[in-house]
Chain A
Amino acid sequence: MSSESAYLDRLYRDYSRRVQATLIRLLGDFELAEEAMQDAFVAAVQQWPVNGEPDNPQAWLIRTGYHCGVDQIRQRSTARRRAHLLLPIEEVLELDEATIEDDSLRLLFTCCHPSLSIEARIAMTLREMCGLTTEQVASALLMKPSTLAQRIVRAKRKIRDAHIPYAVPTHEELPERLPDVLKVIYLVFNEGYSRSTGSSVVDISLTQEAMRLGNELARLLPQGEVFGLMALMLLNDARRDARQDSGGELVTLDVQDRSLWHQEDIHNGIVWLQQALALTPTGYYTLQASIAAEHAQAIRAEQTDWGRIVRLYDALCRRFPSPILTLNRAVAIAMNGAPETGLALLDDIAHHPQISRYHLFHAAKADLLRRQGQREAARSAYQQALLLTNLDPEKRFLHRRLAELEAST
């Protein structure tokens, strides 16, 4: 029994995602496709040990699943309404590798559709694309399984009732639609990255899942921005062991122990970045990755090429204006030897609704004031930042900074 379940586990790991993606297209229904896929795996576990593994296990599973799904539809009272949705079996038999790969992309674009709430997109992507169970996704997102299940049911209902297409956008649509998918992958990554490591009871790593998705997407859709996102994730993830000290306290970039950075990830990140830069136009993630690469390549914090980072932020702010990027650019300008200019730029955006209640704005301002020796102003900015965050590690960090300020008097 245990060897049978180990066998099933292996089959599942190897084939379930792609079989599921194709069955959704063939059967036109998420729930039905999932049931049909389960049936196909049960059949495989019964038949393969006896008859041997078929030449093309994936195609076998899809065909078997399709038959199970069609049987299901025929048994249901809604059969007549749905019958026209079904593809003739000849078309199913003609599955080639490219069609199956396209199905993965179709599924990803459907899960990341902008008409679903961002929470639903993340849940759907993890559930359907990463092949995680509802319980695994729920614990990875720190949610109750019932809440998550409800969210997924709603999303699937909307996909069905509002006719969200199961399709890869056309070449013309792609520039508009690809950012939706990249955004979801990057949010999954950040969700994992912002978590403190070590305390997690689940062995699902959202950063790993995000990079796996990015890798798969890069293979299926080799676009510059996909490479750029891969580079950005790898270059950030390379710092994972240096971001916290042994006591779990936050360590900012300038004082991180750079010997803890994973050089192999940095190397790989830079390879992705070079591939991204070879393709124009240079997009949002590629520019962000270029900044991350500057930090990653500085052996010591003082060797950071802030001049180049300022120029990269200039380009980002021109093409994708946002108050958060303006904040980052102002800090880079200050670090590049013009603290007064940086502080003046911060004052310019201080009243922006997205900024005035953003704790990192006040923390960044406090940091620049502290470096300038303006202790009183720095203190009040740190206090303002403290009022605006509920995150414990951030609070402890700000308290430490305040204490250091007092000690230096």
Chain B
Amino acid sequence: MKYVALVYYQEQIINAMSEQQWQDLNQECIAGVERLSASGHYLAGQPLQPTETATTVRVRDGETLISDGPFAETKEQLAGFYLLEAHDLNEALQLASRIPPARLGSIEVRPTRELPPKAAPQKESGE
């Protein structure tokens, strides 16, 4: 079986972190991915840019409707995801508008971000 693990948090909590706390969290994630990869459980994953960068695409009566922000309909539930390669937001929105459920619900398009480089291992004191 394959499973997708979706990550949710309040962006406020992240925004309130110190630079160090944020770096530590990123490094923890890098270590976690390495661990999962080593055990053969990790297939793919990608952190996202904050919701401020999100755009929602809907198609109704053949017309593409684009709006700022993440989808807000609480009646809609997450049904799947696509990881797309596009050279800019216009292309990404165009590709998203062709995802069939865009006609039924909404597709949130959000740029990904890259985890920072792995921190160099620190020398243990006393070694």
Contacts and interface: CB of A to CB of B under 8 A. Distances in A.
Interface of A: 113-117, 120, 154, 157-158, 161-165, 167, 173, 176
Given A115-B55, A154-B52, A157-B52, A162 B67 contact: no
Contacts of A164: 88-90
Contacts of A173: 90
Contacts of A120: 68
B111 interface: yes
Interface string B2-42: 00000000000000000000000000000000000000000
Interface in B52-84: 52-55, 64, 66-69
A269 B54 CA distance: 40
Interface in B79-127: 87-90, 93, 110-111
Contacts, number: 44
B69 A162 contact: no
B52 A163 contact: no
Nearest to A176: B64
B68 A162 contact: no
B88 A161 contact: no
Contact of A158 (B53, B67, B88, B93): B53
Contact of B93 (A115, A116, A117): A115
21 contacts: A114-B66, A114-B67, A115-B55, A115-B66, A115-B68, A115-B89, A116-B68, A117-B68, A157-B53, A158-B68, A161-B49, A161-B52, A162-B53, A162-B54, A162-B55, A163-B88, A163-B111, A164-B90, A165-B89, A167-B88, A173-B90
Nearest to B54: A162
B47 to A, nearest CB: 13
B91 to A, nearest CB: 8
A14 to B, nearest CB: 32
Contacts of B110: 162
Residue with the greatest number of chain B CB neighbours at <10 A, chosen from A157, A162, A173 = A162
A162 B111 contact: yes
B49 A162 contact: yes
Nearest to B88: A165
User: Which of A113, A114, A120, A154 has the most chain B CB atoms closer than 10 A to its own CB?
Assistant: A114
Nearest to B65: A114
B116 to A, nearest CB: 12
Contact count band on B: 10 to 19
Nearest to B55: A115
B89 to A, nearest CB: 5
A163 B69 contact: no
A117 B89 contact: no
Contacts of B64: 176
Contacts of A115: 55, 66-68, 89, 93
Given A115-B93, A173-B90, 6 more contacts: A113-B89, A115-B55, A115-B68, A116-B68, A117-B69, A164-B90
A116 B67 CA distance: 7
A290 to B, nearest CB: 24
A181 B110 CA distance: 23
Nearest to A119: B68
A165 B53 contact: no
A350 B89 CA distance: 40
Contacts of B53: 157-158, 161-162
A77 B83 CA distance: 31
8 cross-chain pairs, A with B, having the tightest CB-CB distances, nearest first: A115-B55, A114-B66, A165-B88, A117-B68, A162-B53, A163-B88, A161-B53, A164-B89
Contacts of A167: 88, 90
Contacts of B49: 161-162
B111 to A, nearest CB: 5
Contacts of B67: 114-115
A161 B90 contact: no
A165 B68 contact: no
A368 B84 CA distance: 55
A328 B36 CA distance: 63
A154 B55 CA distance: 14
A84 to B, nearest CB: 14
A115 B70 CA distance: 11
A116 B64 CA distance: 15
B70 to A, nearest CB: 12
Nearest to B86: A163
Nearest to A166: B88
B87, B88, B89, most chain A CB atoms within 10 A: B89
Given A115-B66, A115-B93, A117-B68, A161 B111 contact: yes
A162 B54 CA distance: 8
